A and B are shown apart, each in its own frame.
Chain A
Amino acid sequence: AQKITQTQPGMFVQEKEAVTLDCTYDTSDQSYGLFWYKQPSSGEMIFLIYQGSYDEQNATEGRYSLNFQKARKSANLVISASQLGDSAMYFCAERHSGAGSYQLTFGKGTKLSVIP
């Protein structure tokens, strides 16, 4: 079974600083995808960034970038220039195939708090 590990239950970062949220995954699939979602206190999950297992370059979306190290099976999220609105839960998820479809397995999340 797929397993996603987020080892940091909580993180603090100073406003305007960069922060890295860790994610490791355990899969034997050759083709897979990695997603990061943000969940504010309102509860809705917001898609941030995606990395495919065959993508040679790290994905970037605005202030978000994904540090993809395939051999180490890690897909860390880097948020640059943190803002107060970045305070939220962050979830890493892996897309894997099974029974003719694709599914996501989520980690337990990291709670990020941005300090003014």
Chain B
Amino acid sequence: DGGITQSPKYLFRKEGQNVTLSCEQNLNHDAMYWYRQDPGQGLRLIYYSQIVNDFQKGDIAEGYSVSREKKESFPLTVTSAQKNPTAFYLCASSIVSGAEQFFGPGTRLTVL
């Protein structure tokens, strides 16, 4: 089955710790995206990548970092510099930038 996987579904971390969220796709899509969703809000773009070894900042990149070393993988690191990291994080991919995006199941991060 083709799709996007995110793990884990729930993640708890202590304040001040970096944490990495996993995102893997087997759809052979070039573009991948990370979004953050807060309660009662829409999605906000954190980072996106149009192609391997390339990525750009989205609207709320501060306190986050990404890498795109493989086409299938686009991990997101939430660093201790992110002031309010507790949120629902969604990863998406599209065949190319601008095409419809397919989403993973999301990771709910809680920082204690």
CB within 8 Å of B: which residues of A? Answer: 4, 33, 35, 37, 42-47, 50, 91, 93, 95, 97, 99, 101-104, 106-109
Q: Contact at A42–B43, with CB atoms within 8 Å? A: no
A-B contact pairs, 15 of them (CB 8 A): A43-B90, A43-B105, A43-B106, A44-B104, A44-B106, A45-B103, A47-B100, A93-B43, A101-B98, A102-B97, A103-B45, A106-B42, A108-B41, A109-B41, A109-B42
Chain A residue at minimum C-beta to C-beta distance from B88:
A43
Q: 1/0 contact trace for B83-94 toward A, CB 8 Å?
A: 000001010100
Size category of the B interface is: 20 to 34
Report if B101 contacts A (CB, 8 A). Answer: yes
- The answer for the CA separation of A96 and B103 in the assembled complex, in Å, is 19
Q: How far is the CA of A45 from the CA of B93 in the complex (A)?
A: 12
Q: Is there a chain A Cβ closer than 8 Å to B50's Cβ?
A: yes
A sample of 4 more A-B contacts (CB under 8 A), given A35-B100, A45-B43, A45-B103, is A43-B88, A93-B42, A101-B97, A102-B98
Q: Give every chain A residue within 8 A of B56 (Cβ-Cβ).
A: 99, 101
Please state if A47 and B101 are interface contacts (CB–CB under 8 Å).
yes
Chain B residues within 8 Å of A45, by CB: 43, 90, 92, 101, 103
Known contacts: A103-B48, A108-B41, A108-B42. The answer to whether A44 contacts B105 by CB under 8 A is: yes
How many whole Å from B73's CB to the nearest CB in chain A? Answer: 19
Q: Given the complex, which residues of A lie within 8 Å of B100, measured CB to CB? A: 35, 47, 50
Q: Does B63 contact A (CB under 8 A)?
A: no
Cβ contacts under 8 Å, A103 to chain B: 45, 48, 58
How far is it, in angstroms, between the C-alpha of A104 and the C-alpha of B44 when the chains are bound?
9
